Amino acid sequence: MCGICGVFQSSGKPVERQLVERMTSAIQHRGPDGSGFFISGEVGLGHRRLSIIDLGGGAQPISNEDNSLFVVFNGEIYNFIEIREELAKKGHVFKTRSDTEVIIHGFEEWGTECVNRFNGIFAFALWDANRKRLFLARDHMGVKPLYYAVLRDRFLFGSEIKALLEDPACARLVDLKALGLLFTLHYVPSPDTLFEQIKKLPPAHWMMINADGMTMRRYWKVKPQIRRDVDESQLVETYRGLVEDAVRLQMRSDVPVGLFLSSGIDSGALLALMRKHTNGPVHTFTIGFAQGEKTNETRDAREMADRFGADHSEMIVGPEDYAKYYDRYLWDLEEPVGNETAAAFYFVSLIASRKVKVALTGQGADEPWAGYHRYIGIKLSGVYSRLPKFLTERLIPGAVERFTRNERLRRGVTSLNEPDVLTRFVKVYSFFSPSMKARLYQPWLQRELSTNGQQAREALRRWQTDVADLDPLTQMLYIDTRTNLPDDLLMVADKTSMANSLEVRVPFLDVRLVEFIETLPPNLKLRWLRGKYLHKKALRKWLPREVVNRKKKGFDNPIDEWLRGRMRHYIGECLLSDGAAIHRYFNRKYIEELVADHEARRHDYMRQIDLLISFELWHQKFIGS
C-alpha cells in the first residue's frame, strides 16, 4: 500500500523535479517506508512506499527489462502469484517478488486488457516511453482512490488531492455542481469532486494520456443475469467457497495482517477464516465511545476475539479525542461527506497501526446484500403505492412530519410514494429535501443549482442504465455498490487508514463475490423485511446462531450528545460565527433555525448539521475562511 503521483507535460516541456518531489512529500503518510522517482522529459512519477510485499526488493518505480515501461502503484494485486506464473510460462523475466511487477509484464502481454486479469485493490500509473503515453487505472470497486487534473499544458494525478494542489496552477475553486450533489446525495459521486479542476477516475475505468489528449474507458461492465433456477444449498456452498478464497488471497502479505472487529457477523466470519489460514493469533481491533454504552460493541467484540483466540486491542474514544482530531479531520478526508461515523475509522486505524501494517475489514457486505434499512423501503413502496391517496399523500406524511423526529423514517416515507425509481433513490439519500434546499441556498446559488435533485439523478443514471430493465431492489443495490460505497464509505476508510499508514483490505468486495451476488434474485438478499438472507445463512457455518442473529450496530457514536456538550463550540465556530465561509453559500438565518430546532429536540437535524460542519471545515482547510 502506497501513495502515487505524477505529471505529464502535454506540451513536451521537461517536468520540474521539484514539483514531483513536493507532490510526493504531500502524501508521505501513505508510505513512510521510502520514496522513489522517475523523471524523464515530459513525464515525472512519484511514489511513497508502505512495505508489505517483497520488503527488500519491491521499491518503486519498477521498470521492465529494457526500461521502456515504468509503473507506480498503490494497492495490492491479490492474485499476483498466479498471474506471475502464467506470465513466466510465456517467457517474461521477473527481477522482484512484488505484486507491482506483474502490472508491468501484464501490460506487455495483454495491453489495456491486463486490468481485467487483476483481482485486487489498485490505482496505478504506467509510462510507456516508446509510445510516449501514460496509462492509469483504478480497481473494479473503487477501493483505492485516483485523482487527476487537466490543466492548460499538463496533466496531474495522485492518490490524494493534496498532491495535486502542490501545483500552483491547480486552482482552489469550489465546483458548484458538485456542491449541489453533496447537499443532495451527502457525497460527491465520481468523476466529480468539490474542486472545480480536480476529478476522480471512476471505479473500473482506465485512462490513456498522450500529447493528443485523453481517452477514458470502462473496463468492467457485467450486467447481472438473474438466476431463475435456485438451489439455495448449492448457492450457499458456492458463496462460502468464494468468501474463504477471498480471505485466503487477501491474507497474502510479508507482514502481519490484522482485523477491524465489530460485534457483527461480517467481521466475525472473517476472524474465523483468518484463524483457519494462519498459525498464530489474529490481531483484532475495536473501538467504543464514551457515553455510548447502549450501542458500543466492545464487550461483544471482546467475546468474539476470545472465542477465536485473537490478540485483541480496544480503545474508548471520548469527545476530547474527537475534538482534537476534528482539527485535521477534513485535511485527511479531502472530500466532505454526510457521514457522522467517518471519524471513527480514524481511531480504529490508529490503534491497529500500532501493531500491524495491514487490516481486513467487513466493509462491503451491506450494499450488495441489502443490509441497510433503506432497502426495505423498496420492498414496501409497491404496497404503499396501492393504498388510498388520502393516506399516502396527506394523512401518513403529515403524521410522520408532525409526530416523529426520526430523520431516516421521514426520508423513507417521503420516498415511498414516488413512482420513478431513480427519483425515489435520490429522495432516500437526501438529508436536505428540495424545500429545505430552497431555504438553505443563497439566492445566487439557487440560480446556479436546481433544488429538485435533477443533477443527482443524472449522476446516478449512468449506472442505472446498465440495469434499468431489472427490479428496483437490484437497481438500487447495483447503483449503491458503484457510487455510495466507493465515493463515501471506501473513500473514508482509505483516507483515515492511510493517515495512519495502514492498509485496509475488503474481502467481501472481491470482484468474484460481487459478480456472484449480483446474479441472485432479490428474495435471496432481502427476505421479508430482513436483509442479507443468503449471506447470513452461509456464515452460520463459522459463527454461533446468536452472533448471526445479533442486531447490527455499526459505528454508532454519541456525536450528537458531544455536539450539545463538550464539542458545542464547533456549531458556534463553523455554523453561527460571522467568519464562517458557509454563509457565502447558505442562508444564515435558516442554519440558525435548524440548530435551534435540533437543540430544542423539536426535530432531528443531526445529519444536516454534521454535513454543514464538514463542509465548513473542508472550506477552511482548502479554500479559505
Per residue in 427-471, pLDDT (tens digit) is 888 989 899 999 999 999 999 998 888 999 999 999 999 999 999
DSSP secondary structure letter of residue 29: G
**Angle 277-282-287 from CA coordinates, rounded to 5°:** 140
Catalytic site includes residue 2: yes
Bigger pLDDT: 566 vs 590: 590
**Does residue 559 have a pLDDT over 90?**
no
Alpha-carbon torsion (304, 307, 312, 315), positive or negative: positive
Rounded distance between C-alpha atoms, residue 86 and residue 82, angstroms = 6
Residue 127 has pLDDT above 90, yes or no: yes
Q: Phi, psi (5° rounding) for residue 571? A: -65, -45
Asked whether residue 425 carries a pLDDT value surpassing 90, the answer given is no
- 390, pLDDT greater than 70: no
Q: Would you say 473 and 522 are in contact if contact means Cβ atoms under 8 Å apart?
A: yes
For residue 292, pLDDT beyond 80: no
pLDDT the model gives residue 551: 73
One domain, residues 11 and 44: yes
Taking a C-beta distance cutoff of 8 angstroms, is the pair 511, 9 a contact? no
pLDDT score for 120? 97
Q: What is the CA radius of gyration of the chain?
A: 24
- The pLDDT assigned to 189 comes to 96
In this prediction, residue 401 carries a pLDDT of: 67
Query: What is the DSSP annotation of 333-402?
Result: H-S--S-TTHHHHHHHHHHHHTT-SEEE--TTSSTTTT-STHHHHHHHHHHHHTS-HIIIIIIHHHHHHH
- Gap between the Cα atoms of 195 and 217, Å rounded: 23
Q: Are residues 350 and 309 in the same domain?
A: yes
The mean pLDDT of 223-239, rounded to a whole number, is 94
Among 221-235, 280-294, 388-402, the minimum mean pLDDT is found in: 388-402
| Beta-strand pair 62-63/69-77 | antiparallel
Confidence of residue 209 (pLDDT cuts 50, 70, 90): very high
Given this model, what pLDDT does residue 588 score? Answer: 96
What average pLDDT does the segment 236-249 reach?
97
pTM of the model: 0.95
Residue at 225 is within a domain? no
**pLDDT of amino acid 403:** 59
Examine the domain organization and report whether 77 and 176 are in the same domain: yes
Domain encompassing residue 176 = 2-218
Average pLDDT value for residue range 324-329: 88
What is the per-residue pLDDT for 580? 94
Residue 478 maps to a domain? no
The answer, yes or no, to whether residue 372 has pLDDT greater than 70, is yes
pLDDT for residue 402: 65
Task: Let me know whether 59 and 179 are in one domain.
Answer: yes
Is the model more confident about 598 or about 560? 598
Same domain, 159 and 51: yes
Residues 178 and 39 in one domain: yes
Residues 544 and 624 placed together within one structural domain of the fold: no
CA separation (Å) from 589 to 74, 304, 480, 600?
Answer: 45, 49, 34, 16
pLDDT at 560 over 80: yes
Tally of domains within the chain: 4
- pLDDT of 556 reads 64
pLDDT of residue 379: 75
Q: Mean pLDDT, to the nearest integer, of 66-75?
A: 95
436 and 509 part of one domain:
no
The residue out of 494, 524, 548 marking a domain boundary is 548
